[in-house]
Amino acid sequence: MVEQAEPGQTERPAWRRFLDRQLSREPLVVVPTHAYGLRGVADGPPAPHRLVPLLRTALLGAAFAVLVVLALTRPTPLVAVPGVVVAVALAVGASEGTLRHWRHRRRLRRALVRHAPTTAMAYAGRSGGPWQLRMWEPYLLRSGEPNVIINLHAKYVERILTEGDAPLRSPFVQLGSRGMKDLGDALVPSLRAFFYVQNAQTNARFMARRDITHVWLNHGDSDKPANYNPRHADYDVLVVCGQAGIDRYANHGIHVDADKFEVLGRPQAWDIEPARGAIGSLEQPTVLYAPTWHGLDPAVNFSSLEQGPKIVAALLRRGVRVVFRPHPLSYRWRIRRAVVHEIHGLLEADRAAGGPAHVWGRRADVEWSVADCTNASDALISDVSSVVSDWLQSEKPYSMTAMRSSVEEFRDEYPIAQTAYVLRGDLENLDEVLDDLLVDDPLAEARSARKRYVLGEFRGEESADAFAGFVRRVVREGR
């Protein structure tokens, strides 16, 4: 096969074009499994080995010389001999990872064996890692069991390690460039249980290890479809807050064996404080506005953020203090970020004009936890969101937005809304909802029973202690 030359150019044989393609390619780089914060091994992937690229270049040069000689001495150049030389050169390039990283992998393995983790947070999620992992890591460590985080997608390492309200305390293991094929590097004999906080389909690759117990935690309790996905039935254990977490599956036709459920309350809500008094008796109540993320699929977009400026403006007209905490992922989309900044501007202008000491930006988003925002507030406006479940611990009044359905349909579809003041997506009932939320509060007595249904019978730190005991039991006994 001969390439058709342009006018005035000589023809280029196939073997020359093949060699040109190989010489123009970037060197093959194999990144091994590596770690951050693991004692006994340096953070990050190892530095490139200097000898192997030189050897690869030399072999490619030798291959080129052989091809030139054959081209000059034979009427029809043989491809076999130079092809072998090229193949050897390319094989050296492909084996660069093995030669360069053998010592690193051995050190990593030894360091993991010394750390002897019994639990691991297996994470195949993406941009939600900074807060999804931090939501549960402290309560896993509360058990006293050594923990490690095993991450699949290297693209998100920097974001996971640097974003969030506190550093991760567990060693962080990043699988190598072969992805799940490198999982064996991280699986030391001491591991007994994997905990999952994000329902990526790739979790199934972690779960293929049947000698390990696989525990579904999720990253928050709500009536969203993410809390009753059919894939959850594949986990060995499903941790839920209360009976509501069990009923969601049955209510949507999803069968999960009853003995898989562990009702453990909501550890993250242990420090949420009760109301400081009846909402109508407070001189200047504080309202937490916490819209959820819009999601990647319009079918599960529950966010009221697009109506956020109107909601906040109505609150300002009533003279209340506002704590504004949008979902952290809202900042990563240009249109949503613009709305967030618009609300920031409303709060800043109101405060500058002599209004209350509103809270927004870094203080509400990073420096304060959800519990801090809850404790600083007397009422909540949110969406279908785990923030509402956590809020129930306080038994304070709350409102939820029904962006695409009527009030009655919304309450039927989302049981937690049965004790919420439901705000229509078009805001036509906004004044009425704010009267109920901030003055009359007719659902006050019903919220106590709803709290027990959603969060169980746990008080104070009982849920956190129950979860720690559960982790120790799984490590000791399995499932």
* 242, pLDDT greater than 70: yes
On whether the CB atoms of residues 282 and 319 are closer than 8 A, the answer is no
Task: Name which of 390, 384, 357, 358 is nearest 371 in CA terms.
Answer: 390
Looking from the CA of 72 toward its CB, the CA atoms found within 13 Å total: 5
How many H helices and E strands in the chain?
17, 13
196-to-153, 202, 473 alpha-carbon distances in Å: 15, 11, 17
> Residue 449's pLDDT is what?
93
For residues 100 and 136, the model is more confident at: 136
- Where does the pLDDT of residue 7 fall: very low under 50, low under 70, confident under 90, or very high at 90 and above? very low
* 8, pLDDT greater than 60: no
Lowest mean pLDDT, pick from 14-23, 206-215, 232-241, 262-271: 14-23
- Where does the pLDDT of residue 149 fall: very low under 50, low under 70, confident under 90, or very high at 90 and above? very high
Tokens 């549960």 belong to which residue?
136
* Beta-carbon contacts of residue 364 (< 8 Å; ≥ 6 apart): 323, 324, 325, 373
Task: Name which of 120, 177, 174 is nearest 148 in CA terms.
Answer: 120
Token code pair at residue 92? 């050296």
| DSSP strand pairing (398-402 vs 261-263) | unpaired
Token code pair at residue 352? 């500058």
342-to-113, 131, 197, 285, 379 alpha-carbon distances in Å: 51, 24, 32, 23, 22
On whether the CB atoms of residues 256 and 238 are closer than 8 A, the answer is yes
Lowest mean pLDDT, pick from 24-38, 329-343, 351-365: 24-38
* 308, pLDDT greater than 80: yes
pLDDT per residue over 75-99, tens digit each?
A: 545 455 555 555 555 555 555 555 5
For residues 418 and 74, the model is more confident at: 418
pLDDT per residue over 343-371, tens digit each?
A: 999 999 999 999 999 999 999 998 999 99
What is the chain's Cα-based Rg? 29
Mean pLDDT of the chain: 87
CATH class of 116-270+462-477: alpha beta
The amino acid sitting at 105 is R
The CATH classification number of 279-455 equals 3.40.50.2000
> Residue 96's pLDDT is what?
53
> Residue 341's pLDDT is what?
96
d(C-alpha 33, C-alpha 391), whole Å: 40
For residues 158 and 75, the model is more confident at: 158
What number is the average pLDDT over the span 190-219? Answer: 95
* 16, pLDDT greater than 80: no
Token code pair at residue 372? 């801090």
- Where does the pLDDT of residue 128 fall: very low under 50, low under 70, confident under 90, or very high at 90 and above? confident
> Residue 324's pLDDT is what?
98
What number is the average pLDDT over the span 225-229? Answer: 90
* 380, pLDDT greater than 90: yes
> Residue 27's pLDDT is what?
46
> Residue 479's pLDDT is what?
72
**Residue 417 gets which letter from DSSP?**
G
On whether the CB atoms of residues 242 and 452 are closer than 8 A, the answer is yes
